[in-house]
Amino acid sequence: MNETATAGKLYVLGVGPGGSDLVTVRAARILSELDVIYTPTGKKGTKSLAHSIIEEYLSPNTHVCTYHFLMKADMSAKQAVWDEVAQNLKEEVANGRKVGFITLGDPMLFSTWVFLLQRLVSQQMTSPSWLEIVPGITSFSAIAAASAMPLAMEDQTLAVIACTASEAVLEQALLNYDCIVLMKVYSRFSLICDLLQRHNLLEHALMMADATLPTEQCWHNLATLSFSEKERMQELSYFSTILVNKNWQLSR
């Protein structure tokens, strides 16, 4: 997009992991000033978590535009949606509008926003003047704070990894780092438990689901999980994350 041709601006807003009081002051101010906001929905006709977090900050004059990102479709169908949303954002900005795009947690970490960024900005460029990305509190920092478990200290190493990675990659992360954040646990919980057990890490691991939401649940030491609790994890919330810290002994 041309740097000078437009007075419009795209604000990409990290809205935090769930609690609406974890939206930053900057994001809240921008939300109250937008002409239009793009909010995602996983299912047609439903409101996303990100949308419900920011609703209280929106001006009644802001037009809400809901788009449906396909989570389970094939790559070409997903790419068609990303192309279309990126094109819409470009046109909104070119028409001089203040347009918002919200993402859960932080926008630069495991976020669909990055697929749009790739379509809007050349990777060699610094951030253009028509774009402002507002960082958000990421899920794992909220979980570390809520559970009083440090993420990393001094010369310790920290890996952040999605459990959609291969078993070999996950195992290497568990072996090579002092502290590990395991995101997107949901469907791979039993594999992760087996890996943690194999490396004697269960008692250094905690899991939190729906952090900072009214439905928040924390399993403070995965070594203490009973068989029936493990069985129930088949229906784990999509919003579940495991923190491992080899230098932190969790209470039983």
Ligand X SMILES: C[S@@+](CC[C@H](N)C(=O)[O-])C[C@H]1O[C@@H](n2cnc3c(N)ncnc32)[C@H](O)[C@@H]1O
Q: Packing angle between helix 167-176 and helix 189-198, nearest 10 degrees?
A: 40
Burial label for 184, CB within 10 Å (0-12, 13-18, 19+), is middle
DSSP run (H or E) holding 206: strand 205-209
Identify the sign of the CA torsion 27, 30, 32, 34.
negative
CB of residue 86 vs ligand X: minimum separation in angstroms? 18
- Give the residue with the Cβ less far from ligand X, 184 or 220: 184
- Give the residue with the Cβ less far from ligand X, 1 or 48: 48
- Give the residue with the Cβ less far from ligand X, 85 or 109: 109
C-beta nearest to ligand X: residue: 105
Instruction: Return residues touching ligand X (CB under 6 A).
Output: 17-18, 103-106, 109-111, 138-139, 183-185, 208-213, 238-241
The answer to whether residues 51 and 39 touch, using CB atoms and an 8 Å cutoff, is: yes
- Give the residue with the Cβ less far from ligand X, 6 or 207: 207
Tell me the one-letter amino acid at 112. Answer: T
CB of residue 60 vs ligand X: minimum separation in angstroms? 28
Pair type for strands 131-134 and 9-14: parallel
